[in-house]
Copies of this chain bind each other. A is one copy, B any other.
Amino acid sequence: MEKYIKDPIYGNIKVESKLIDNPYFQRLKHIIQNGMAYMIFPSMRHTRFEHSLGTYYIASKMIDRIEGNIDSDFKEIIKKLALYHDIGHFPFSHTFEFALDVLKYLNDDKYKEIIGLTEYKGQLHKFHEMMGIKILKDGLGEKEVADLMENVYTSSNPLDDKIKIAKLIVNSDLDADRLDYLQRDSYYSGAKFGIIDPERIIITMTITPKGYIFPPKAIDDLEHFFLARFHMYSSVYNHPVIEIYNRVMSYFIAFAIHKGLLKIPSNLEEIKTFTDEQVFLALINAKNDNELSHFYFSLVERRKYKRAVLQGSEARTLHKYLTEDEDAKEFYEYILGYKGKVVIGSTELKTSIDNIQIKEKLGKYEYLNNLKEESSVVKPPERFRVHIGVYDDNVAKEISEYFSKNFSITLDFRNLESNP
């Protein structure tokens, strides 16, 4: 049975009941879209569920812009993949993936156990995507969608034209996912940065195995889109205070798994109920754990961390150091000795603009220009930020000394929510 689901962004989304009436998809109602962003934008309480429906809606419109020989069955599979693209997210979405990065240093066995859930054989990409493939295959019995998901998320340059097209719609710099979440996250947050015009972008696009093709008049819309994305990252998703809360939460998740306070699922059945609530309950239980109670006081009782931020070239250099595993191991082990009373997060704000062609006419000739190589087009800048949060003044002092001694960097700690 088809039904209409009311959505404040698109009005009414039409979808087959059977696609959404299963516990795996329903679980997304309990996975918040933007981690801890609601600590600063309290109205951002929307979940992966609404976003998944929105992505499905946008993908359904994009399907009509495909040029070439794609049969309607495959189009349905693309739409299903759009609907299910986030089905593998664990509690607090990307915050959980940060937690995995921490867990790797803290407890490699547990880390491997979680990764093992995905049963993915190749090199691991994003955790939630690999998890999604597993759920699609073994939970929902959607083998074709699972296979497409694997192709679309693990290959950066697929050979097959159908896969290329599916990848444009579901996993590209201008995919249905991004076209949905920019507006949606703007709507819920109240921040205006992400208000774009997806309909106009879709109307002017052609989707081909060579990438998206647009007429020159679409350039303003494309610039607008990529800048909107940049500003949503800079001001909302990676808001300095939200960064700290996300890191505190991800350190908590890692420690809670490490110490058995948060039980990780061991099979698909348990994944059905592995939701934000589980993490929140672990947090409440941490109140009486000598080593971890500071997480409770920070996240529930609002005992605020102090924070320092690095920007510019210092941040760039430190970011590179922190994300090149081997060198940074010693540093992370030092940090983890503080059991989450020190958290560190490094962000690279970077906008990739691939597979977008502008079709120009020169007299009787037509040719394609790659958008990202067009020097006249405004593109978002690249920015680096490293955020360091500390639980109290003692820790602040020790960390400042460590940074000064080891990195020759002076940290300037402030109250969490004072103006940056």
List residues of chain A with CB under 8 Å of any chain B CB.
3-9, 11-12, 17, 21-23, 26, 29-30, 38, 40-43, 45-47, 49-50, 53, 187-193, 195-197, 199-200, 203, 215-217, 220-221, 223-224, 227, 230-231, 234-235, 272-273, 275-278, 280-281, 284, 287, 300-302, 312, 361, 363, 376, 378, 380-381, 383, 412, 417, 419-420
Interface of chain A, main secondary structure: mixed
Which one of B40, B50, B275, B412 lies within 8 Å of A42 (CB-CB)? B50
Chain B residues, CB < 8 A from A53 = 42
Who on chain B is nearest to A38 by CB?
B29
A378–B381 CB distance below 8 A: yes
Q: Which 6 A-B pairs have the closest CB atoms?
A: A8-B190, A45-B45, A277-B277, A277-B280, A220-B235, A192-B197
Nearest-Cβ distance from residue A50 to partner chain B, whole angstroms: 5
Distance between A22 CB and nearest chain B CB, rounded to angstroms: 7
In the bound complex, residues from chain B placing their C-beta under 8 Å from that of A45 are 45-47, 50
Could you say how many copies of this chain the assembly holds? 4
Enumerate 24 A-B pairs (CB-CB under 8 Å) in ascending A order: A3-B417, A6-B40, A6-B190, A6-B191, A7-B43, A7-B190, A8-B187, A8-B189, A11-B200, A12-B203, A17-B417, A23-B300, A23-B302, A29-B38, A42-B47, A42-B53, A45-B45, A45-B47, A192-B196, A220-B234, A221-B235, A273-B284, A277-B281, A361-B412
Chain B proximity of A135: nearest CB distance (Å): 15
Given the interface pairs A42-B29, A302-B23, the reply to whether A363 lies near B223 with Cβ below 8 Å is no
Bound-complex Cα distance A215 to B187 (A): 25
A248 to B: closest C-beta gap in Å: 15
Residues of the B chain whose Cβ atoms lie less than 8 Å from the Cβ of A9: 190
Known: A23-B302, A277-B277. A11 touches B190 (CB 8 A): yes
CA distance A217 to B383 in the complex (A): 14
